[in-house]
Structure formats: structure tokens, C-alpha cells
Amino acid sequence: MAVASYGAWKSPISSDLIVAGTIGLGQIKLDGKTIYWSESRPTEGGRNVIIQWAENAQAIEVTPSPLNARTRVHEYGGGAFTIMNGTVYFSNFADQRLYQQTLGAEAIALTPEAAIRYADVILDQSRDRLICIREDHQNADREAENSISSISLKDYSQTPLVSGADFYMFPRLSPDGSRLSWICWNHPDMPWDGTQLWTAKIQADGTLATPEKIAGGREEAIFQPEWSPDGSLIFVSDRTGWWNFYRWNPTTQTVEALCEKAAEFGLPLWVFGMSTYGFAGNRILCTYTENGISKFASLNLMSLELSQIDCPYTSIAGLQVCSDHAVFVGGSATEPTAIVKYDLNTQQFEVLRRASELRIDPGYLSIPEAIEFPTENNLTAHALYYAPKNKDFQAPDGERPPMLVKSHGGPTASTSASFNLGIQYWTSRGFAVLDVNYGGSTGYGRAYRERLKGAWGIVDVDDCANGAKYLAEQGKVDGDRLVIAGGSAGGYTTLCALTFRNTFKAGASYYGVSNLKALAEDTHKFESRYLDGLIGPYPERADLYDQRSPIGAVDRLACPVIFLQGDEDKIVPPNQAEMMVNALKAKGLPVAYVLFEGEQHGFRKAENIKRALDGEFYFYSRVFGYTPADSIEPVAIYNL
């Protein structure tokens, strides 16, 4: 093995390799036994394509260029398409109109050109209509209006079915088409705080009778209501502190618990179309999270016995089920995420499509270690630790590696142990990586999730800093070369850690929040009251927003920062980054700012993903004085 300083190792995992060979795997849908999914292609500017998996094991592109199956409802989208009898209904990103398409035919627009968005579409076949979430932005003087509406497939007329709440998700028809169920919630709650589950009979004219509330409230979050084949309504609720299964019987009007377990069968509803279970006869095939790891299981609806299924995947998402098979997006520590089919008869797993066909020698791959470490208030927090790994290099005796601490977005979200080439890019060059599931993350129960209530910018920052110090004190990493990076809410955690703590020596903010007041005053509807729970009501507690805004405490920031930002970001507008950059320039601190044209909240274009990754690595090389083994396009660094 060659001897070289950490950071200077030559790695085969290049940014070109990552963007050229990787696609994003998204929503899965089953049309009978036929499988469809969406994939995002960085080489096509992030275009989302609907794919059909044919019986002859061929992936057929359903939506040709320039069609882009992506909705902007809630800005984060999801649930952009559905299929029935070979016909696809989808939202097109450019105009946000709904289209109808059969394979090989021209797409037909079903909705007019207007400032209206659609998501979570289902087909009401007996009434020849679609039912979907409709988000109306036509009146610029008021907040967007959300509703559940129908769209006639005869004359394309639109009829509101349910309105009045601020948000809706999961419109679902009973098997006989006689009832509709849904969840809804209102400001200031978020869907992981408190939602309500409703149902109503459908009348002869297609409108709804008086709705009945089944479950939920401000202290109970409902996830994924689905009608079982026998006509009962299954849903996931966290009323006990964990997202578990419940069943509502429409005849007796009663709710019963199906499986009480200290595990999470639900997820935070950041996007539409999320699914953790489906029906196969009298069984539920499901996935749940336990200690941050996904498990695959079967719940017998008669005996209520939960049986775990041996599964090689530690991250499972988007699960869809039919009588013969289940399909999901699966990942593990050593394999790229993939569309995976599980045959219920043979109990075998089959990979249909990988996010990347790259095969990386295991000698360059770092396997994550789940760690639990002490943090404030005599509590512990969770993270995944990746040690540097490259079979061709070792560091000089006595040198400890620099470490990149990653703070995930959300903040109500989580990281996973799924294979991540972006992390392996760092570890194969000699960095350690700590991917933190700080207090407020999901996957560890409601109490852990609620640690962040009123404490955003404190608990998350403490956990990231304490995780870094914990490993430095153990001698695994260099305490003088700790850096932190994050995107969106993780960017805010990053900026707070750099501003209000002295643990880190540099950092990278990807479209991160620097001014909480600006975020509260200039953000979209879905998150417009999110900060009420994370910080406090605004403007009543404007003092807290001032105290926890990095922009107001630049005098306390004493280390270099790189900012990476999309110029069309509506969630965290560019002025958030630019205010911070200008302040750091004026203070004389090393700072870099990379603005990406045509990008929104998160980078989708291959060239920008590459530029951001290499730019961050280059920035740290200048800060810490190591020489990258590759030729990297420099970024402009002020005050250096």
C-alpha cells in the first residue's frame, strides 16, 4: 500500500462516475401484475421518466422526452402518476397539467393551462373519473388552496369533493367504490405531528355524504390509510408513541390495534405516494424501521401474527404488493439501491433495475457502523460511522483522518445505511464520515422525534457536535480537522454548528437556512408554519428567531464556509445564502459561493451534482492543505 495523507488518496469513485452511472429510483406502481416505476436521470437534467417492466424482462420507457413526470404539490411533490389497465395518468413538471397516456401513443392533456397542481391521483373506474389532490395557486394574493377533487374523463370537468382543511393526502376508494377515505391536517401542524383520518359514503351523483372522523388529532399522526380486500380500513397511527397498524370496521364503527411493536411502520409525510405496506390475500406485506434499519415482514390479518422475512436489504421504500409479488426500492450497505421484486411463491428476490450498474471493488468501500453516543441532558443520540477505506493507501503513522459530519435535511427525516456513492467518494479519499440521526429524526419513535420541538438549532447541533467529539476523544478522527455539511434543514444545522459552536473547522451549506425570519416570511404553504413547532410562533417569538439565526451572529463565526445554491429554489431562496456570503466576505473569512442556474431545492443536473461534490472537496483541500489526487476544477474562494 502506498503511503499518503488522508484526503490525498487516489480513488476510482470519481464524481464523473457517480453522475454518469447513477439514476434516482422513485415511485412504484402495480397495474395488476405489471410493474411501473419512475426514475430520475441526472444526464437528462433530472427528468423523471415512467418505466414499464414487461414480462420479457425489458424496461420500456412510457413517457418520452421532454415529458417529465413530476408534481410540485407541497413543492416536494411525489405521487406524480398512477396506472390502470395500461393507461398512465401523470403530472408533467413543465406545466403541472395532468396527462393521460398509453404506451406508444401521444400524451393527452386532461387539465387546462392554469396555476393548478395535482398529485396522489387514483382512478374511480365505475364513475369514469380521476380523484386527486388539487392545489390551486391562481390567486396570488392568498395562500394556495388544497382540496380533494374529481376530474371527469368524459369532459375533463373538475368537481371539489372535500375542502376546508389546509392539507390533504391519501384519497382512497373502498373495494366496492362506495366510500372514500383520506387524511387531512391544518396549520400549524405538520403531518408527523397531528393528522385526521376521515371517510364518507359516495352518493349517486358522485359527491360525498357527511364525512365521519375515524381517528387522529393534534397529538396523533396517521399514515397511509388503505382499504383491505374485505372492506375494512387499515391505517398506521403513532397514538402509542410508535407508528403501528390499526383496523377500522365500517360495520361496527370500531378501531382495533393489529400489531403493537416498538418499531415504525410509518414515515414522515414529506412527499405523496409513500407506502410501507400492501395486501396479499389475508396478509399484509410490510416494511418497518427498528433502530434505524428497515425490516421486511408479513402480518397475518386473521391471527395478527407478525413474521419477519429474511431480506438482504437494510433500506426498503415505496413498497407495492399484489397477489403474486411485492416490489420495492431496496438498498444495503454494499449494493446500490434497486427496484426489487419479491416473489411470494418462491420467496426469492430479483433485481429489476439498479440505480447504478457500477461495480466497485469492496476494497474501496467503507461499511457503516451504527453507533449510539452520549449527548446533552443525559441522553444518547444515533449515527452511522464510516471509517476511511481504500485498499491502495494508508496514512502516515500517527496521522488521524479528517471527518465530515453530515446533518440530514428535514429536519424531520433520517439517514439510512443504504449504499451511498456520495459517502464512499469521501471515505475512499481518506475522510471519515459521521451521518447523524440527531434528536428529531424519524425511525426511533415519537418521543425521539419530538426532542426537536422548540429546540431546532440546539438539539440537532448538540448531537452533531457531540458525535464528532465522541469519535475524536476515542482517537478515531482528528479533532482539529472536523467539518460539517448539510442540505436544506441540514444546511441550517450546519450553519448553526459553525456559528454557535467551536467544534468544527469548516463546513458546507447546501441551500441552507441562515435567516429564520426570512424563512418564516418567505416560504411555501406546506412549511409556512413548520417553524411554529421547531422554534416558536412567529412573529410572537421573533426573539427566538433572532437568537437562532446564524446571519445575526456572524461575529461568532470564525471558520471557512462554502455555500452551494440553486437559483430557482422556492423553499430556501438564494438570498438566504447570499446574505451569509456577503457577511463573511465583509468579515474577511474564507468563503465560496456556487450558484447553479436552473436548479431548485436539491440538485438534479449531472454537471451540477459533479461540480458541487468536487467543489466541496476542493474547498477543504485549500482549508486543510492536502493535495487532491485528481485534477479538480477550482472554486473561487474569497479572503483566502
Query: Is 282 among the domain residues?
Result: yes
pLDDT tops 80 at residue 21: no
Domain end among 244, 273, 302: 273
Q: Which of 17-26, 115-124, 403-412, 431-440 has the lowest mean pLDDT?
A: 17-26
Last residue of a domain, one of 273, 299, 331: 273
Mean pLDDT across the stretch 522-545?
94
Q: Band of the pLDDT at 523, cuts 50, 70, 90?
A: confident
Are 434 and 545 within one domain? yes
Say yes or no: 195 and 279 in one domain.
no
Residues 375-402: pLDDT tens digits?
Answer: 999 999 999 999 999 999 999 999 999 9
Q: Judge whether residue 55 has pLDDT over 80.
A: no
Per-residue pLDDT at 343:
96
Q: 436 and 568: one domain?
A: yes
What is the mean pLDDT of the segment spanning 261-285?
97
Q: What is the DSSP letter of 523?
A: -
Q: Are residues 431 and 346 in the same domain?
A: no
DSSP summary character for residue 33? T
Q: CATH number, domain at 208?
A: 2.120.10.30
Average of per-residue pLDDT across 190-209? 97
Q: Verify that 484 and 562 share a domain, yes or no.
A: yes
Inside any domain, residue 638:
no
AA identity, residue 28: I
Give the domain CATH number at 531.
Answer: 3.40.50.1820
Domain end marker among 242, 257, 273: 273
Strand pairing of 98-102 and 283-290? unpaired
Give the span between the Cα atoms of 605 and 493, in whole angstroms.
25
* Contacts for 547 with CB less than 8 Å, ≥ 6 apart: none
Residue of 477 and 555 predicted with greater confidence:
477
pLDDT at position 292, please?
Answer: 81
Q: What is the mean pLDDT of residues 408-418?
A: 92
Note the pLDDT of residue 554.
86
369: pLDDT strictly greater than 90? yes
User: Which pLDDT does position 446 carry in this prediction?
Assistant: 97
> Per mean pLDDT, which of 29-33, 204-208, 567-571 is the most reliable?
204-208
Per-residue pLDDT at 356 exceeds 90: no
Q: Are residues 559 and 542 in the same domain?
A: yes
Chain centre to alpha carbon of residue 365: 24
Question: From CA 528, how far away is CA 337, in angstroms rounded?
Answer: 33
Cβ-based neighbours of 77, under 8 Å, separated by 6 or more: 70, 71, 119, 271, 272
Which pLDDT score, from 0 to 100, does residue 403 have? 98
Q: What is the pLDDT, as a whole number, of residue 122? A: 97
One domain for residues 499 and 581 = yes
For residue 336, the model assigns a pLDDT of 85
- Does the structure show a pLDDT above 80 at 54? no
The pLDDT tens digits of the residues spanning 610-639 come to 999 999 999 999 999 999 999 999 999 999
Q: Per the domain annotation, does 640 fall within a domain?
A: no
Looking at the domain assignment, is residue 264 inside a domain?
Answer: yes
Same domain, 180 and 80: yes
Q: Cα dist. 275→95, 120, 634 in Å?
A: 27, 12, 42
Q: How confident is the model at residue 418 (pLDDT cuts 50, 70, 90)?
A: confident
Give the per-residue pLDDT at 640.
87
Rounded to whole angstroms, how far apart are CA atoms 493 and 527? 17
Q: Examine the pLDDT at 275 and tell me if it is beyond 90.
A: yes
Give the DSSP H or E segment for 327.
Answer: strand 325-331
The DSSP-derived string for 141-170 is TS--EEEEEEEETTT--EEEEE-SSSEEEE
Lowest mean pLDDT, pick from 15-24, 285-294, 573-582: 15-24
- According to the model, what pLDDT value does residue 35 have? 95
Residues 426 and 479 in one domain: yes
Q: What is the pLDDT of residue 120?
A: 98
Cell of 527: 412549511
Tens-digit pLDDT profile for residues 104-158: 899 999 999 999 999 999 999 999 999 999 999 999 999 999 999 999 999 999 9
Does residue 636 lie within any of the structural domains? Answer: no
Residue 629 maps to a domain: no
Question: Within this chain, do residues 317 and 424 fall inside the same structural domain, yes or no?
Answer: no
Answer whether residue 605 shows pLDDT above 90. Answer: no
Confidence of residue 358 (pLDDT cuts 50, 70, 90): confident
- Mean pLDDT over 267-272 rounds to 96
Band of residue 579 on the pLDDT scale cut at 50, 70, 90: confident
Q: 294 and 246 share a domain?
A: no
Burial degree of 547 (CB within 10 A; 0-12, 13-18, 19+): middle
The number of helices, as runs of H, and strands, as runs of E, in the chain is 10, 38
pLDDT of 156: 96
Mean of pLDDT values over 402-426: 94
Amino acid at 166: D
Question: Is pLDDT at 518 greater than 90 in this prediction?
Answer: no
The predicted pLDDT at position 344 comes to: 96
Instruction: Determine, yes or no, domain membership for 296.
Output: yes
pTM of the model: 0.91
Q: Say if 309 falls within a structural domain.
A: yes
**Which residues fall within 8 angstroms of residue 88, CB to CB, at 6 or more apart?**
36, 50, 62, 63, 81, 82, 100, 101, 102
Place of cell 372492506: 231
* Structural domain range at position 561: 2-15+360-624
Does 334 score more than 90 pLDDT? no
User: What's the number of domains the chain is made of?
Assistant: 3
Give the 3-state secondary structure of residue 139.
coil
Same domain for 399 and 524, yes or no, is yes
State the chain's mean pLDDT as an integer.
95
d(CA 620, CA 546): 30
Residue 572, pLDDT above cutoff 90? no
- Burial pattern 177-213, b for ≥16 Cβ within 10 A else e, equals eebbbbbbbeebbbbbbbbbbbbbebeeebebeebee
H helical segments located in 55-177: none
pLDDT digits (tens, 9 = 90+) for 166-182: 999 999 999 999 999 99
